[in-house]
Amino acid sequence: MKLPRDVSGDRVIKMLRGIGYAVTRQKGSHVQLHHPGPPAHSVTVPAHSNLKTGTLHGLLSDVAHRRGIPLENLVSSL
């Protein structure tokens, strides 16, 4: 599966909010989001203009694993 190259941190945050994550805090350009669960899960997203593909893949893989959502569904919702 090929990841899109022009995904911003704000776009990822918006997608995560759509699946139940809430912004809990922000320090600088890093935004921490939390999903109450079960199981509870927190993730930190850099609010940069374009995320590197490795960073994007890591974030999406972690969320997909914890929430039980196929990775392809998360990529298509971006």
Task: Express each pLDDT in 52-72 by its tens digit.
Answer: 999 999 999 999 999 999 999
Shortest CA distance to 53 belongs to which of 7, 11, 1?
7
Q: Is 49 helix (H, G, I), strand (E, B) or coil?
A: coil
**Residue 77 half-sphere exposure, CB side, CA atoms within 13 Å?**
16
Task: Report which residue type is found at 7.
Answer: V
Q: What is the pLDDT of residue 39?
A: 87
**CA–CA separation, 66 vs 78, rounded Å?**
18
> Count of domains in the chain?
1
Residue 3 falls within a domain, yes or no?
Answer: no
pLDDT digits (tens, 9 = 90+) for 15-64: 999 999 999 999 999 999 999 978 899 999 999 889 999 999 999 999 99
Domain of residue 20: give its range.
9-76
Residue 2 falls within a domain, yes or no?
Answer: no
Q: What is the pLDDT of residue 38?
A: 85
Q: What is the CATH number of the domain that holds 40?
A: 3.30.920.30
Determine whether 34 is exposed, middle or buried from the number of CB atoms within 10 Å of its CB (0-12, 13-18, 19+). Answer: middle
